[in-house]
Amino acid sequence: MDLDTVKERAGPRQFSPKDDMPEEYRKAATRMIQFHANSEIMGAYLERPFIRKAPSLERKLAFSAKVQDELGHGQLLYRAAENLGVKTREEMLDELAEGKGKFLNCFHYPMESWVETPMIGFFVDGAAMRRQATLKSSSWEPYAHAMDKVCFEEGFHVKHGESILRELSQGTRAQQEQLQDAFETWWPRIVQFFGPTDDKSTHHDFAADVGLKRNTNDELRQAFLNAYLPKIEKYGLELPEYPRIEYDEDAGEYTVNEDDLDWEEFFRIAKNEYDPGKEQIDSRKRAQEAVAWVRESMDEYEANDGGVTPAAAD
């Protein structure tokens, strides 16, 4: 299939592994889905410590379930990317462990305090839902199909994050002050979640032309602000002075002054030139190395026993 045909046929869940897709499509889709899969994995590593740090058994169970969900999402997405024939799942995981795989800017920053957890669980996951809901209409069918499960489970994550936010916002004065401090630190990163402004985006036009994505970064950011600014007020949080947010009464929309955002740091992170949260990558690498002997043993067993895995042999 040539590229012009792909653009003509592009639509929701239009293409699958049985289609002979052009190289440009396969590479673009792999880049996009691999980035998404990496983000799911690294988000899990950022939140994993809070399984133990959570203040109650109920919260520990919820964080345990969430981390399992995120790791499962990553595996689904690696398989959806692998079906494009550009990279194997193992190659993508190796790139992530080596610090070559890219992922969302928010997951590069360390999260140390309990009051920070709703910044990811409510705001970042809420922003993710805005993006992922649109990807259920992606032209690559395995990706769109994976989004059905991902979005269903992310809805639980957002509700969990909102529950923690509500609890802290109604807590002691010290908790409320700590929550406000965390919000002021994370808010610029959250606003940058959707990526650079449309005029700086290098991949959107092609991805939209072939149906891989449907909305621009600015459109998604606008929808998120409209939905979440009232919720910020509801929970008693005050917006920091920067980035400046304005409300257009005629249009009924909130807008952010993009010049107030640190895009220089954002692009350094995107290019892996600067990583304030290198611990997450190192933690992933250590975990992969720790179980390398298991993978090697299974590969050796399968090679020596005519393709029969230990489980099948048993």
132-187 residue pLDDT tens:
999 999 999 999 999 999 999 999 999 999 999 999 999 999 999 999 999 999 99
Q: 191 is written with which tokens?
A: 């606003």
The model's pLDDT over 284-309, given as tens digits with 9 standing for 90+, comes to 677 778 888 887 888 888 787 665 55
DSSP annotation of 107 reads G
Name the β-bridge partners of 245. Answer: 256
pLDDT digits (tens, 9 = 90+) for 224-266: 999 999 999 999 999 998 888 888 888 788 888 888 888 888 8
User: What is the three-class DSSP state of 182?
Assistant: helix
Would the pLDDT of 274 be above 70? no
Question: Is there a contact between 168 and 161 (Cβ–Cβ < 8 Å)?
Answer: no
Give per-residue burial for 240-258: e unless 16+ CB within 10 Å, then b. Answer: eeebebeeeeeeeebbbeb
* Contact present, 77 and 37 (Cβ < 8 Å): yes
Q: Is 14 helix (H, G, I), strand (E, B) or coil?
A: coil
Among 7-11, 167-171, 198-202, 213-217, which stretch is predicted with the lowest mean pLDDT? 198-202
In CATH, which superfamily holds the domain spanning 3-276? Ferritin, core subunit, four-helix bundle (1.20.1260.10)
In the chain, which ranges are E strands?
245-248, 253-256
For residue 277, the model assigns a pLDDT of: 54
- The span from the CA of 76 to the CA of 112, in Å, is 28
Q: How confident is the model over 263-275, as a mean pLDDT?
A: 76
Residue-range domain boundaries for the chain: 3-276
Average pLDDT over residues 100-126: 92
Q: Which long-range contacts (CB under 8 A, 24 or more apart) does 252-257 make?
A: 252/226, 253/222, 253/225, 253/226, 254/222, 254/225, 254/226, 254/229, 255/222, 255/225, 256/191, 256/221, 256/225
Sorted by sequence, the CB contacts under 8 Å of residue 106 that are 6+ apart come out as 120, 124, 186, 189, 190, 193
In terms of pLDDT, which residue wins out, 194 or 199?
Answer: 194
Give the pLDDT band (50/70/90) at residue 313: very low
Gap between the Cα atoms of 207 and 139, Å rounded: 10
Q: Check: CB of residue 150 under 8 Å from CB of residue 144.
A: no
And the tokens for 169?
A: 């916002």
Which of the pair, 201 or 241, is modelled with greater confidence? 241
- Residue 54: the pLDDT is 94
* Average pLDDT, integer, range 204-217: 91
Query: What is the per-residue pLDDT for 50?
Result: 94
pLDDT > 60? residue 310 = no
Q: For the chain, state the CA radius of gyration.
A: 21
Q: Which residue has the higher pLDDT, 253 or 32?
A: 32
CB-based contact 198:218 (threshold 8 Å): yes
Query: What pLDDT, on a 0 to 100 scale, did the predictor assign at position 314?
Result: 45
